[in-house]
């Protein structure tokens, strides 16, 4: 059974096809609706809050002719301790696919190992692959890079500011290795990438394309895009004060772009916190493409679900 838990769960040819489908679905959204999930029921199990992911998946499943079911921990028996194995096996008898947002990546891997339906990662503490695919689509649009990220993103430089140990940073490390992008991580020494993402690259024979600096003046030199994410990720609320203090030098502001390429873009997966990780002036600038990123979640996830649909494979 095919799952999409991490960016490299698809081969290069499949990635090219998925991106092609996403561009096509965007162009023809209202003209030529596709029904790749016709008659199918897909579960959406959310252990954490969400706006973009939840709405884009629900709308996307409906637009593909499918039926989305919203589930959460507290209103199912998971909240009373039913095992992941039993839950996965039972849901596999009812559903055609399962989208999960949760904390530990090992939980979604456990779900996948016991599911006979496709499982899609809608964010774990480790990776956010749907966001990255949509972000790469957004960059290709802006850079006129065609539809293949393996070609259109090659040798571009993306600087990631702030918590460089978070799931988005990990996903950029992985995407950089897959698509030949240079990833410049810039944040506090104590928030550098952890061992699991380094191991993932090694286990998959992927050469690292990232560097790390704690110097905010050096991180964005020559960048084509600057990316940041919230400083206090979901589940890290107890560390709020220490994080806000440590990350302060890494706020993305107008001067961050003094050393970038002229047309450097600003990206954020949202929700954004103005005047924390990014200044209001950068959010309001022509460089900011965060609403395109958000919209492309819909088109890209429709393409991913179509590729995973049990009846299309
Ligand atoms: N970027 C993102 O995943 O947004 P949500 O948390 O609102 O789903």
292 is a catalytic site residue: no
> Over the stretch 207-237, which tens digit does the pLDDT of each residue have?
999 999 999 999 999 999 999 999 988 788 8
Domains identified in the chain, total number: 2
User: Is 238 found in the same domain as 200?
Assistant: yes
User: Is 278 found in the same domain as 235?
Assistant: yes
Q: Is residue 176 assigned to a domain?
A: yes
128 is a catalytic site residue: yes
What is the pLDDT, as a whole number, of residue 313? Answer: 57
Ligand 1: residues with CB < 6 A are 50-53, 123, 131, 269-270
* Cα→Cα distances 206→91, 154, 198, 200, Å: 34, 15, 10, 8
- Ligand 1 centroid–CA 112 distance in Å is 22
Is pLDDT above 70 for 255?
yes
Is pLDDT above 70 for 32?
no
- Ligand 1 centroid–CA 128 distance in Å is 9
Q: Is residue 1 assigned to a domain?
A: no
Residue 25's closest CA among 70, 1, 69, 59?
Answer: 59
The whole-number average pLDDT for the span 283-303 is: 98
What is the pLDDT, as a whole number, of residue 11? Answer: 96
Confidence tier at 171 by pLDDT (50, 70, 90): very high
What is the pLDDT, as a whole number, of residue 30? Answer: 76
Q: Is residue 153 assigned to a domain?
A: yes
User: Is 239 found in the same domain as 111?
Assistant: no
Q: What is the mean pLDDT of the chain?
A: 96
Residue that has been written with the tokens 């500011």 in this structure? 161
The conformational region for residue 175 under phi > 0 = left, psi -120 to 50 = alpha, else beta, is alpha
> Over the stretch 35-71, which tens digit does the pLDDT of each residue have?
899 999 999 999 999 999 999 999 999 999 999 999 9
What is the pLDDT, as a whole number, of residue 124? Answer: 98
The Cα diameter of the chain in Å comes to 56
> Over the stretch 136-152, which tens digit does the pLDDT of each residue have?
999 999 998 899 999 99
Range of the domain at 117: 7-127+295-308
Q: Which of 166, 229, 268, 287 is catalytic?
A: 229
Q: Which of 186, 297, 299, 301 is catalytic?
A: 297
């Amino acid at each position: 059974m095919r799952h999409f838990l991490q960016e490299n769960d698809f081969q290069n040819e499949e990635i090219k096809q998925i991106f092609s489908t996403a561009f096509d679905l965007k162009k023809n959204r209202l003209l030529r609706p596709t029904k790749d999930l016709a008659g199918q029921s897909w579960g959406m199990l959310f252990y954490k809050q969400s706006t973009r992911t939840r709405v884009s998946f629900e709308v996307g499943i409906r637009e593909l002719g499918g039926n989305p079911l919203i589930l959460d921990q507290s209103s199912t028996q998971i909240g009373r301790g039913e095992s992941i194995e039993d839950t996965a096996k039972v849901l596999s008898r009812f559903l055609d696919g399962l989208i999960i947002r949760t904390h530990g990546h090992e939980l979604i891997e456990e779900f996948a190992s016991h599911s006979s339906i496709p499982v899609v990662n809608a964010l774990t503490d480790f990776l956010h692959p749907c966001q990255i695919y949509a972000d790469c689509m957004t960059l290709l649009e802006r850079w006129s890079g065609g539809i293949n990220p393996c070609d259109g993103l090659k040798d571009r430089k993306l600087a990631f500011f702030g918590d460089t140990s978070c799931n988005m940073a990990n996903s950029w490390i992985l995407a950089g290795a897959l698509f030949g992008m240079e990833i410049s991580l810039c944040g506090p020494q104590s928030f550098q990438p952890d061992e699991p993402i380094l191991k993932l690259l090694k286990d998959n024979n992927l050469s690292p394309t990232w560097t790390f600096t704690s110097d905010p003046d050096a991180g964005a030199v020559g960048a084509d895009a600057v990316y940041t994410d919230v400083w206090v990720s979901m589940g890290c609320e107890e560390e709020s004060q220490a994080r806000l203090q440590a990350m302060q030098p890494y706020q993305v502001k107008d001067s961050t772009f003094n050393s970038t390429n002229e047309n450097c873009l600003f990206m954020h997966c949202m929700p954004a916190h103005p005047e924390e990780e990014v200044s209001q002036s950068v959010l309001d600038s022509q460089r900011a493409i965060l609403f395109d990123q958000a919209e492309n979640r819909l088109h890209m996830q429709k393409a991913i679900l179509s590729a995973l649909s049990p009846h299309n494979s």
